[in-house]
Amino acid sequence: MNELLRYMVYLRNKKYFPQDASSILSLSRKTLQDDKIIIRDVRVANHFLELDISIASFSELEKIKSQLSMIAPVIEIDRIVEKDIDKEESIKLARELFNNEKYWKTHEVLEGTWKHTQGNEKELLNGIILVAAALVHYQKGEQAISISILKRALNKLNNSRGKYLGINIDSLKNEITNIIGSTTVSKFRI
């Protein structure tokens, strides 16, 4: 079998919440019913549903658009490929993705940069990656897992302060601390 092509398919969200993620996943799989299309996961943001999909061929995209539009309008399809971008551009892109609730893609972009860092910077980036991962779990309705990952993230961020390429680390740590204290995950910007 050829290597699968991976896409993020975004549907407009007007009525779903993170706790609906598993039912949306089931509905999406039932709607497509095709062994050439693998729906890995669904995440729920305020304005979109993010479906993580793998396909064997580009030809499946039209079927995906047509069938999934029965659930909600398709607003974007984004092919996932690893890109080699410099650190400053990576952090800028990661902030933009994070602030638009695209936490999985934030995680992926930062992971590429993280691989090329060392010491405290590597620890700091790992902490930010964990924050994005925690919010991915929040979007899947997994509140307890999200809180647990945020605790690990805070531990990684403890030795950092000030700003890192436009990210206010002190503010980030305060947001995480407040969420952990309230045990209710909420979205925030970086």
Structure-block tokens of residue 151: 């605790």
- pLDDT classification of 84: cutoffs 50, 70, 90: confident
Please state which architecture CATH assigns to domain 5-79.
Answer: 2-Layer Sandwich (3.30)
**Top-tier CATH class for 87-182:** mainly alpha
Sign of CA dihedral 77, 79, 54, 114: negative
Mean pLDDT of all residues in the chain? 96
The pair phi, psi for residue 80, each rounded to 5°, is -95, 115
- pLDDT classification of 77: cutoffs 50, 70, 90: very high
Residue-wise pLDDT tens digits, 116-149: 999 999 999 999 999 999 999 999 999 999 999 9
Structure-block tokens of residue 47: 């304005």
DSSP per residue over 74-136, as a string?
A: EEEEEE-------HHHHHHHHHHHHHTT-HHHHHHHHHHHHTT--HHHHHHHHHHHHHHHHHH
Domains of the chain by residue range = 5-79, 87-182
User: Residue 121 in contact with residue 88, Cβ under 8 Å?
Assistant: no
